């Protein structure tokens, strides 16, 4: 069995994901970075982009995040995102409906999510 690291993806509203993963790629403010088991400790600012979760060498889940902070240790990575959407579970129609009633900042994020699906 492959080594794993504990991933926690949390927004102000809820915990989006909590799982053991082989690798996660995160959109840092200075570029994408990958976190594997036994990664050295670090704290990173995040920017809008796709967070990708890998199992068996392949992307198994994708989330669009909108800024935040990642706290990485050897055993876990905690992503505190301002906003997040599960790209595997949202439809373009649902995003259009939600954007109709959203603020400008939320509309901008929802349109970025729509472009990614």
Chunked into runs of 10 residues, the chain (117 residues) has average pLDDT values of: 89 96 97 95 97 95 97 96 95 92 90 93
Q: Please indicate, yes or no, if residue 38 is contained in any of the structural domains.
A: yes
Q: Please indicate, yes or no, if residue 107 is contained in any of the structural domains.
A: no
Q: Please indicate, yes or no, if residue 59 is contained in any of the structural domains.
A: yes
Q: What is the largest CA-CA distance in the chain?
A: 46
Q: Give the tokens for residue 47.
A: 């920017």
The tally of domains found in the chain comes to: 1
Distances (CA, A) of 35 to 11, 65, 67, 79, 85: 19, 16, 17, 11, 20
What counts of helices (H) and strands (E) characterise the chain? 2, 10
Q: What is the pLDDT of residue 115?
A: 94
Q: Please indicate, yes or no, if residue 30 is contained in any of the structural domains.
A: yes
Tell me how crowded residue 74 is: count the other CB atoms within 10 A of its CB: 12
Distances (CA, A) of 91 to 45, 74, 83: 28, 35, 17
Q: Please indicate, yes or no, if residue 63 is contained in any of the structural domains.
A: yes
Residue 41: which domain range? 5-86
CATH code at position 37? 2.60.15.10
pTM of the model: 0.91
Q: Please indicate, yes or no, if residue 99 is contained in any of the structural domains.
A: no
Q: What is the pLDDT of residue 81?
A: 98
The neighbouring-strand residues paired with 68 are: 46, 81
Q: What is the pLDDT of residue 1?
A: 53
Q: What is the pLDDT of residue 101?
A: 87
Q: Give the tokens for residue 85.
A: 């959407």
């Amino acid at each position: 069995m492959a080594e794993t690291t504990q991933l926690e993806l949390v927004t102000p509203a809820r915990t989006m994901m909590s799982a053991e993963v082989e690798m996660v790629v995160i959109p840092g403010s200075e570029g994408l970075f990958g976190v594997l088991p036994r990664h050295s400790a670090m704290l990173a600012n995040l920017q809008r982009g796709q967070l990708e979760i890998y199992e068996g060498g392949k992307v198994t889940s994708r989330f669009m995040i909108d800024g935040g902070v990642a706290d990485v240790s050897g055993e876990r990575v905690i992503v505190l995102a301002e906003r997040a959407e599960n790209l595997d579970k949202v439809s373009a129609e649902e995003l259009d409906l939600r954007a109709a009633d959203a603020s400008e900042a939320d509309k901008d994020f929802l349109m970025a999510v729509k472009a990614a699906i």
